[in-house]
Amino acid sequence: MAKVLLINGSPHEHGCTAEALSEMVSVFTEEGIETEIVSVGKKAVRGCIACRSCFQTGKCVFDDIVNETAGKFESADGLVVGSPVYYGSPNGNLIAFLDRLFYSTRFKKHMKVGAAVVSCRRGGNTASFDVLNKYFTISGMPVASSTYWNMVHGFTAEDVKKDLEGLQTMRNLARNMAFMIRAFADAKEKYGYPKEEHEVFTSFPDGK
């Protein structure tokens, strides 16, 4: 069975972001896709210190929720990252979590389907949406879209329930993700995944 891992970056496990993710889960369930939600908003997650220990060990030197989630990410066919908007950007805990999760894991993320979801009271949504999508697009992960940018509006979960277009966007996003996951699985069997090249690493060490 296909599986989607959902990351809730909000410290409010039943707040606005959770409401958006819950709407997606209901569709994934209808589509026969397994789901798991990991909440990181209240966790004490420190940022990456660029020690590169993970290059040798395959895991982050800080043994916390990042390492706990790594195996779930590896086995998932899709990843949804949800965040509230803080000063026009995603939650700082979530950014620290994602930096370390993507940097420390050595497994291939190529062709796992990614989707960013943001919730806000009023503004800063598209800026936060752009930040989250960059984790997917540097990792060879196809990005799922919907019938509007993947966002909901509201100050409380009850407000989000009134954002009918936002919830519709979440349902359409989940359906698109389900389709992409199945389509990529079929294409892998028929054609194989596209080749990845990693031989070139441009850093201009001699200043040229």
Q: Is 145 exposed, middle or buried (0-12, 13-18, 19+ CB in 10 A)?
A: middle
For the chain, the domain total comes to: 1
pLDDT in tens, the chain (208 residues): 999 999 999 999 999 999 999 999 999 999 999 999 999 999 999 999 999 999 999 999 999 999 999 999 999 999 999 999 999 999 999 999 999 999 999 999 999 999 999 999 999 999 999 999 999 999 999 999 999 999 999 999 999 999 999 999 999 999 999 999 999 999 999 999 999 998 898 888 765 5
Give the global pTM.
0.95
Residue 207: DSSP 8-state: -
Query: Is residue 174 one of the residues assigned to a domain?
Result: yes
60 and 164 Cβ atoms separated by less than 8 Å? no
Query: Is residue 207 one of the residues assigned to a domain?
Result: no
Rounded Cα gap, residues 134 and 82, in angstroms: 14
Query: Is residue 109 one of the residues assigned to a domain?
Result: yes
Query: Is residue 148 one of the residues assigned to a domain?
Result: yes
133 and 102 Cβ atoms separated by less than 8 Å? no
User: What range does the domain containing 45 cover?
Assistant: 3-190
Domain harbouring 10, CATH code: 3.40.50.360
Closest CA to 78 of 151, 171, 150, 6: 6
Query: Is residue 49 one of the residues assigned to a domain?
Result: yes
